[in-house]
Chain A
Amino acid sequence: MQSFTYERAASAEQAGAAVAARPDAKFISGGTNLLDLMKLEIERPAHLVDISRLPLDRIEETAAGGLRVGAQVRNSDLAADPRVRSRYPMLTQALLAGASGQIRNKASTSGNLLQRTRCPYFYDRNMPCNKREPGSGCAALQGFNRMHAVLGASQACIAVHPSDMAVAMAGLDASVETISPGGETRTMPIGDLHRLPEATPHVETVLGHGEMIAAVTLPPPPPGRQVYRKVRDRASYAFALVSVAAIVEKSGDRIRSARIALGGVAAKPWRATEAEHMLAGAAASDGAFTDAAEAALAGAVGHGGNDFKIPLAKRTMRHTLAAAVESA
């Protein structure tokens, strides 16, 4: 870890300006991801602006009937909020399926969205990695890529985004509110926050330097039953091999609408829009779920070690849809 200077931000505006003032500055929230990366010198910021004490830790009702979640709301608090538990149960399930109790107590909403990939080659400075060192190559492509992406990847990078929370939020059509160093705010659908790797895997989001996430807004809960299903190698404390966030609204024997987001398969939470269209109006049947799962993974490409994720995602999606319908 390289030495760095540290300041505690006084306000959201000042925080952004402080980061914008130095190209080697970064925000720090809970630090559960950034500090690990700094110890291994994968991230080497020379200046840290601590935003964890800013008054962005509230969960408020919106006029539209949704919730506005401050960027500094801890993962544990968000999961435990009674409004979240009753109206967005899928979000609580996703949060509680992530990391450990200790980490969730520290991790912030914004930090969770912006946590970086767990690709082991990214974590080892001796290995080629385009994300860490643009142009050096991708060691995972021909290497140990069991955890890697099957959708939206490129020859430059096949890493996945590891967040569970973000997958549920994507399924819930959340939007992300940011504040720029100049004080302007903007709001974008959560699906626009992360970028696919293409030729520049080191550019992971659309945020500018010094642009800070202020909040995540959840629209009013959509009709239908919500289920988050995470598949992993052990019972807890493991990243998703594949996860599925599904909301299915039924009308009689038919599906009125469905929203599906997949985790563990791409560099961002993956909305399965094609599958959603197919399901709208379809009979709630095994066949429909199977077809939807096929459609969702139609463009999937394996890289050897992660080939299994394609059938796994399909099987998991099929069953998660069925579970959402059953309990609808």
Chain B
Amino acid sequence: MTETKTRENRPSKTRSGVIGRPIDRIDGPLKVTGGATYAYENALDGTAYGYILGAAVAKGRIAEIDTAEAERAPAVLLVMTHRNAPAQPDFGPAVTPTVPEVFTRARPALNSERVRYYDEPVALVVAETFEAARAAAGLIKVRYDEEPGLYDLPGHMADAYAPKRTNAGFETDSVIGDFEGAFAAAPVKIDATYRTPFEHHNPMEPHATLAAWSGNELTIHTSAQTLANFRAGVASTLGIPPERVRIVSPFIGGGFGSKLIAHADTILAALAAQVLQRPVKIALTRQQMFANAGHRAEMIQQVRLGADTDGRLTGIAHDVWSATSSFEEYCEQTAVFARSLYAAPNRVTRHRLVPLDINRGEWMRSPGEAPGMLAFECAMDELAERLGLDPIELRIRNEPAQDPERGVPFSTRNLVACMKEGARRFGWERRNPTPGRAREGRKLIGCGMAAAIRPNYIGAATARVAIDRDGRVTARLDMTDIGTGTYTILTQIAADSLGLPISSIKVELGDSRFPRTAGSGGSWGAASAGSALYNACNALKERILEAAQSSEASPLRGANATEASFADGEVSVGQRSASLADLVRRIAPGGFEAEGSVAAGAATQSYKAYSQHSNGAHFAEVAVDCDTGEIRMRRMLAVMGAGRILNPKTARSQIIGGMTWGIGAALMEQTVLDRRYGHFVNHDLAEYHVPINGDVPEMEVVFLEEHDDKANPFGAKGIGELGVCGAGAAVANAIYNATGVRVRDFPITLDKLLPALPVIAI
């Protein structure tokens, strides 16, 4: 780690400052003109094409696999099965000893005759063309000894167990005070059980890899959010040192958490390229992505709230039962947000898992809050109604003075301000609190709101920055831009720090040869990589100044450096100044280079001393067709307190993307697991519905002025996932307000609403 002495302890807010400005995406023109090369578009001479054949059963073993016909098919180079795949380590236990090992463990493919989940790879065909490989895969005959499997979460609740920890290493349970006693004594209470379905990330770009060996060095062009994880995972699967693996992923067509670890496309491409001594390219098909690239698991959530008649919560209990995989545990931290959201003296949160014969769940945008707040913030709405209290007022009455479970102060917390500002802008007072009363023609109109909370994470990161004799700056780090705007933000940070125009900065990402970061995930990208780059820029300035003071050729030789500043392309020391480019040219024709780092947030003092979260309030208005039950959005508003906003344009895009996810979760997203066969039935985009343009209404996003000096040097916090948190609950609460029908089984499709919708006279 590079030691950095900072002269300015905060990035400039004004003058040449480009932080906080709505700069257009740096990579936008490349993307819209096709100049951004995605993994599968990379071309290398001699590339062969792979196609994966998946298992036709969800549990059992391969009794017989006949590849003869496929091997004889035109242009086929290799048919790989568990019988001839290069040796790989066993998969190992369902739970890794530590959290980071989840990301780095070996994930072998085609290494066993066991079938653990439906569509698990059982063969790989590699051919001269994609078409030849796919056609030959259709010629492989497999006979399975099928075994009965478990695919039914509600049917197997008796198998539920408590995991040792949740995702991200949180405690499985939290218990404070005596919830049961408080709940029994509470004059007003809610005991509601909600169901949320399996969901899939479905990034636009599929999981795809081009693998090429050069001697014993492996280069992998892929679509990855976290390069270091990919590198470690590939290395442990292949049994080679990580230094011999290079991961390249400069452009990513969405990930949403489904590209944090290497999947079968990567492993099999690497293995086949090794066997064939040729580059091999493999993409998962859209259908294959459903079983082979992670999902959000189905859950059952019981929320119990006890309150006194004034609406002060006396007890909060959030119990979660989630499906997990029988061979690899994943426990989404669904109830963890509830530990920090509202005050109550007696509280319980618990996570339980029910193992099914399915693939492992993976981190899906806003893991925890997305399903958890969908349930919990509906329960708060139910409680408000029972109390005869406005839902905002109920939340205000339960606003905690400090983190209610950790007992430490919040670094910043503007939840109440967000709700108040939102109410004012949305016209909340015009909402009729009695449900089912507002009608326009044959549409029932309703409004709902929900709170948002999301922890602020920082991952360890290092950045390297260099300036050349022409004043051009290059920043390099193995960070990724998954469509969030990372290139843009980092460019702004470097430009701001060095006092140079945007056009002088080149940010290079997505190559594991660059210094290591935590990549994109958990909304930590901008803060982590940004802080590292900020520190690197400070180190660079330090170096430049030192040389400027001492170099014979320097126009600033001997100047007093304590008042140095970098702005408008100039370096000023006291009364003297010089052009930065000119200075570098004179004193260091080879340029300067420096590194900077940040430590993982969890290890820092400020993280221990403060509860760090972003907050917000969501508002939604819906129209429900009284004849058909069709639900359509009319408008949405989000007011966010998320620290300092580095770029309002990219930030807004993140929030409206998250709100759109909220619409999806509330109204349509659901993957159906067939309880008989264990396969995801609706495994394509015609049948797995995500919101299309017509479903997305006018959306307004407001950021409150905030600066979190505990979080990082910029005062910024993560926002990538905040937009999802609570957004779906605001929609669900609006549906209730419109119809008077409370559907607790998500998504709220019209068939669930219809039986309770009265027939209205024509």
Q: Is the CB of A234 within 8 A of B668?
A: yes
Cα distance A231–B287 when bound, in Å? 26
Of all chain B residues, the one with the shortest Cβ separation from A118 is B686
Shortest Cβ distance from B676 into chain A, in angstroms?
7
Say which one of A18-26, A69-77, A163-171, A313-321 lies at the interface with B: A313-321
Task: Say yes or no: is A322 at the interface (Cβ < 8 Å to chain B).
Answer: yes
Decide if B192 is an interface residue (CB 8 Å cutoff): no
Contact call A142/B686, Cβ cutoff below 8 A: no
Distance of A3 Cα from B761 Cα, bound (Å): 58
Asked whether B630 lies within 8 Å of A231 as measured between CB atoms, the reply is yes
Chain B contacts with A in 70-97, Cβ cutoff 8 A: 74
A87 contacts partner chain B, Cβ-Cβ < 8 Å: no
A237 to B667, alpha carbons, bound, how many Å? 15
Instruction: Say whether A319 contacts B751, CB under 8 Å.
Output: no
Would you give the shortest CB distance from A316 to chain B, in whole angstroms?
A: 6
- CB of A118 within 8 A of CB of B667, answer no
Q: In the complex, what residues of B have CB within 8 A of residue A118's CB? A: 686-687
Residue in chain B with minimal CB distance to A231? B628
Q: Is the CB of A237 within 8 A of B684?
A: no
**In the assembly, what is the distance between CA of A312 and CA of B628, in Å?**
6
Given contacts A231-B630, A236-B694, contact A312 B754 (CB under 8 A): yes
When A236-B692, A312-B750, A316-B628 are in contact, do A121 and B687 touch as well, CB less than 8 Å? no
Q: Is the CB of B686 within 8 A of A312?
A: no
CB within 8 A of B751: which of A39, A146, A234, A239?
A: A146
CB-contact partner of A144 in B682, B684, B750, under 8 A: B682
Say whether B629 faces chain A, with CB atoms less than 8 Å apart: yes
Whether a CB of chain B sits under 8 angstroms from the CB of A127 is yes
Interface members, chain B 593-640 (any A CB < 8 Å): 627-630, 632
- Residue-wise, chain A 22-43 has the 8 Å CB interface mask toward B (1 for contact) of 0000000000000000011100
Given A126-B56, A312-B629, CB of A233 within 8 Å of CB of B689: yes
Whether A235 contacts B56 in the complex (CB less than 8 A), given A124-B679, A127-B677, comes out as no
**Which residues between 84 and 126 of chain A lie within 8 Å of chain B, taking CB atoms?**
118, 120-121, 123-124, 126
Chain B 680-707, CB-CB to A under 8 Å as 1, else 0, gives 0111101101011111000000000000
CA distance A177 to B710 in the complex (A): 75
Inter-chain CB contacts under 8 Å: number: 96
Q: Does A6 contact B (CB under 8 A)?
A: no
A2 at interface, CB cutoff 8 A: yes
List, in ascending order, chain B residues with CB within 8 A of A232's CB. Answer: 630
Contact residues on A (Cβ < 8 Å of other chain), bracket: 35 or more
A 217-251 binary contact with B (CB < 8 Å = 1; else 0)? 00000000000000111111111010000000000
Residues of B within 8 A of A234 (CB): 667-668, 689, 691-692, 694-695
How many chain-B residues does the 8 Å CB contact rule pick out?
Answer: 41
Min Cβ gap B72→A in Å is: 14
Provide the residues of chain A in CB contact with B632, threshold 8 Å.
235
Q: Which residues on the B side are within 8 Å of A143 (C-beta)?
A: 674, 676, 681
Contact status A286-B135, CB under 8 Å: no
Q: Output the least CB separation between B756 and chain A (Å).
A: 11
B134 is an interface residue with CB less than 8 A from chain A: yes
Chain A residues contacting B628 (CB-CB under 8 Å) are 231, 312, 315-316, 319
**Is B672 part of the binding interface, using a Cβ–Cβ cutoff of 8 Å?**
yes
| Per-position binary interface string of chain A over residues 265-281, scored 1 when its CB falls under 8 Å from any chain B CB and 0 otherwise | 00000000000000000
Chain B residues, CB < 8 A from A315: 627-628, 754, 759
Partner of B750, one of A40, A120, A231, A319: A231
Interface presence of B1 (CB below 8 A): no
Chain A min CB distance to B69 (Å): 12
Q: B588 to nearest A CB, angstroms?
A: 55
Question: Quick check: is B138 within 8 A (CB to CB) of the other chain?
Answer: yes
Return chain A residues, CB-CB under 8 Å to B135. 1-3
Decide: A241 near B689, CB < 8 A? Known: A126-B56, A319-B762. no
The complex places the Cα of A319 from the Cα of B687 at a distance, in Å, of: 27
Minimum CB distance partner of A287 in chain B: B762
Contact of B549 with A by CB under 8 A:
no
- The answer to whether B442 has its CB under 8 Å from any CB of chain A is yes
Query: Across the interface, which residues of B come within 8 angstroms of A236, CB to CB?
Result: 692-695
List 10 additional A-B contacts (Cβ < 8 Å) besides A120-B687, A231-B628. A1-B134, A40-B287, A120-B683, A124-B683, A233-B750, A234-B668, A238-B689, A286-B762, A319-B762, A322-B762
Q: Which residues of A contact B (CB under 8 A)?
A: 1-3, 39-41, 118, 120-121, 123-124, 126-127, 139, 142-144, 146, 231-239, 241, 286, 289, 308, 311-312, 315-316, 318-319, 322
Chain B residues within CB distance 8 Å of chain A: 56-57, 74, 131, 134-135, 138, 287, 442, 627-630, 632, 667-668, 672, 674, 676-677, 679, 681-684, 686-687, 689, 691-695, 749-751, 754-755, 759, 761-762
Please, could you name 26 A-B residue pairs with CB atoms under 8 Å apart, sorted by A?
Answer: A1-B138, A3-B74, A120-B682, A124-B681, A126-B677, A127-B679, A139-B674, A143-B674, A144-B674, A231-B750, A234-B667, A234-B695, A235-B632, A237-B694, A239-B686, A241-B751, A311-B754, A312-B628, A312-B629, A312-B750, A315-B627, A315-B628, A315-B759, A318-B627, A319-B762, A322-B762
